[in-house]
Amino acid sequence: MILGLLTSRFHHEREYYTEIAKRACSHHITVAQFTPFNINPKTELVDGLLFDANQQDWIEQQFVIPSHIYNRCTYKNEKNFKKALPIIKWLQRRPQSLFLNDELPNETDMYEILVKNKKLAPYVPLIKHANEKTTLQLLQMKKDLVIKPLHSLSKQNMYHISYQNRLFHVTTLERNHFLTKKFQTRNTFLSWLQSLLQTCKYTVRPMAQASPVHIRSLLQKNKQGTWEEQEKLVQIDDTPCSFLFPLTEQTRFIPFTKWQHQLSKIDFTLLQDSLHIITKETPKALDGVTSHLFELELSIIMDNNGAVWLYQVDTNPTYTNFIQHNVDLAEKVYTAPLHYYRHISRSKNSKLEM
């Protein structure tokens, strides 16, 4: 049995891939790395890397496209994403392909999925496709908004928009650089907005109040295919609006269990109740619309008023920080793809036998 690690570039997560491959032998699984760009669609052969258990290293090899695929692709820019996407879609359509995880819908579609869950809905911030009507309506309701490119890899900026003292305030959000413009009239603001919306597709959502607490929760499925929360970390970053930006080397984390003592007993109980609902109901909501999903990283924020929001969902967790703060977690993380591989294989075989 071969488990194919689909990656945007070889050894992008070398330590993670290698630790999985080392443990795969005891599960009678061979691990391979391949990229969307090294596939010959005519022969369905791949020029990739196979892990050699004897050498304990990766060797260059040509092999048939693996039937079981663990997609860990991440992209440096939108150009690479657009180049890889049709190839990945082709792989997903192949009858013999079985993916361990799925790519999630865009943020507006995700919002529609999550709010259908009545328990989860109160924790999901409203997200709309940005246009003149939705932006003005939300601005009237919430006073503070974030406009973000629909695609996370877009080179376009994010913007914080607020209405204060009869002025429209628009702040360009770049890490460590914030430039604010003020528009005195609705017409001048709308002229700027219309010009912006012509550059790419955007979403609009309420802005979190002040500097929120940013909690990252790691979820994985176990051997039985049941979701478990493995760890929670609190992200520490002095950059304003840091929860909106990708991680940097300056970003620090502390385990939730060490941070929680900063809260009063009442506030901690309320937060725990909210986190329990979010971590239980989010994977449940997504399992209903995806074929296979076994890992999630949830970005959860608590604003200055104590309101808790599910801000982002990612199917490609970055495991380094979680393992760094919980060494005992490493074995679970490295074996989870192998256990899930066997779980979905058994499920598939059971269906064929029926």
Q: Per-residue pLDDT for 3 more than 50?
A: yes
pLDDT tens digit sequence for 309-346: 999 999 889 888 899 888 889 999 999 999 999 888 87
**Distance between CA atoms of 64 and 72, rounded to whole angstroms?**
19
On average, the pLDDT of the chain sits at: 90
CA separation, residue 60 to residues 2, 40, 46, 50, 255 (Å)? 15, 16, 10, 6, 39
Q: What is the pLDDT of residue 246?
A: 74
pLDDT-derived band at 225 (thresholds 50, 70, 90) equals confident
With a CB cutoff of 8 Å and minimum separation 6, the contacts of 296 are 218, 219, 220, 282, 283, 286, 313, 314, 315, 317
Q: What is the pLDDT of residue 77?
A: 78
Q: What is the pLDDT of residue 205?
A: 92
pLDDT-derived band at 209 (thresholds 50, 70, 90) equals low
pLDDT tens digit sequence for 26-41: 999 999 999 999 999 8
pLDDT tens digit sequence for 268-304: 999 999 999 999 999 999 998 887 789 999 999 998 8
Distance of CA 132 to the CA centre of its chain: 28
| pLDDT over 70, % of the chain | 97
